[in-house]
């Protein structure tokens, strides 16, 4: 089950990254480019961290019962 979820997530991220970079306004020379990329990475990291914390809380509750 874990490998299926991992494969699905990797596939989605690969597809989405290609779509995001395909639009004509994706300019790496723009002065805001670095900040936007950092904010995007922080947002994705926040979602992943939230999922990890949620899973840990679920496991602890399950073990306490």
Q: Distances in Å between the alpha carbon of 45 and those of 14, 23, 42, 48? A: 16, 24, 5, 5
Number of domains in the chain: 1
pLDDT at 12: 74
Query: CA-CA distance, 10 to 56, in Å (whole number)?
Result: 22
Kindly report the pTM of this predicted structure.
Answer: 0.57
Confidence of residue 53 (pLDDT cuts 50, 70, 90): very high
pLDDT at 26: 67
pLDDT in tens, 19-45: 555 556 667 777 887 888 888 889 989
Query: CA-CA distance, 1 to 7, in Å (whole number)?
Result: 10
Residue 22 belongs to a domain: no
Which of these ranges, 22-26, 48-52, 54-58, has the smallest mean pLDDT? 22-26
Residue 37 belongs to a domain: yes
Provide the domain limits for residue 44: 32-65
User: Pick the residue with more confidence: 32 or 2?
Assistant: 32
Instruction: Look at residue 64 and give its three-state secondary structure.
Output: helix
């Amino acid at each position: 089950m874990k490998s299926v979820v991992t494969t699905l997530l990797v596939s989605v991220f690969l597809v989405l990254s290609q779509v995001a970079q395909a639009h004509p306004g994706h300019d790496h020379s723009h002065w805001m480019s670095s900040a936007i990329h950092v904010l995007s990475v922080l947002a994705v990291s926040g979602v992943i961290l939230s999922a990890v914390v949620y899973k840990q809380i679920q496991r602890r509750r399950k073990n306490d019962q």
